[in-house]
Amino acid sequence: MTALSYLMRLINLINRMIGNIFMWLAVAIVLVCFWVVVERYMFGNTRLWMQDLYPWLNGVMFTAVAGYALYRNDHVRVDIFYRPASTLRKAWLDLLGVCIFLMPFAWVVWTYCFTFVQRSIRLGEASANPGGMPGLWVLKTFILVLAVVIALQGLAMAIRSILIIAGREDLIPDDYRYNYETERA
């Protein structure tokens, strides 16, 4: 059980680091978008690669921080059943949700997107817009990153559930326990 706890903590740490790094892309998105508007309306100039850049940054940010959102419990769920549930019932619901929905979803994304991404990398795919951004393959690679980070965080959620069901809540860090006061309304 202790090894499971360490694995859960490692996965949480990885997704926290990824989330804390990639959430700063939100600032870059705002700055690039602002500059594109300033350039277009004040200087009568536009650079197509910059118009590609901010939606691409947006895609990278949201796919990279998906595991972090799961870690923070910021994802969508049906709260009418979940919120009033006991800690043990939440653990069972999370374990079932991870096994029935999350892991198969991550597998489907990885399986069906792998050749798509591989082809894009092999071709060195760039924007379809003339004068657009090079490196569209980098953006498409983040589809696989999404599958990996949510699968890893799903594993951490399953471990947390197993520890709770086994009566070993002492092995779960305080910031990853079910907390009724801090859950989103």
DSSP, residue by residue, 102-144: IHHHHHHHHHHHHHHHHHHHHHT---SSTT--S-HHHHHHHHH
Does 185 fall in a domain?
Answer: no
The predicted pLDDT at position 30 comes to 95
Does 80 fall in a domain?
Answer: yes
Given a cut of 80, whether residue 63 has pLDDT beyond it is yes
The predicted pLDDT at position 79 comes to 74
Does 132 fall in a domain?
Answer: yes
Given a cut of 90, whether residue 149 has pLDDT beyond it is yes
| 12-39 per-position pLDDT tens digit | 999 999 999 999 999 999 999 999 999 9
Does 184 fall in a domain?
Answer: no
Cα dihedral across residues 66, 69, 70, 71: positive or negative: positive
The predicted pLDDT at position 83 comes to 80
The predicted pLDDT at position 39 comes to 93
Mean pLDDT, the chain, whole residue set: 90
Does 158 fall in a domain?
Answer: yes
Looking at residue 172, what DSSP letter applies? S
Does 182 fall in a domain?
Answer: no
Average pLDDT over residues 120-126: 94
Does 22 fall in a domain?
Answer: yes
Range of the domain at 144: 2-176
Domain count of the fold of the chain: 1
Neighbours of 12 (CB within 10 A): 22
| 68-118 per-position pLDDT tens digit | 999 998 877 667 878 888 889 999 999 999 999 999 999 999 999 999 999
User: Percentage of the chain surpassing pLDDT 90?
Assistant: 70
Does 181 fall in a domain?
Answer: no
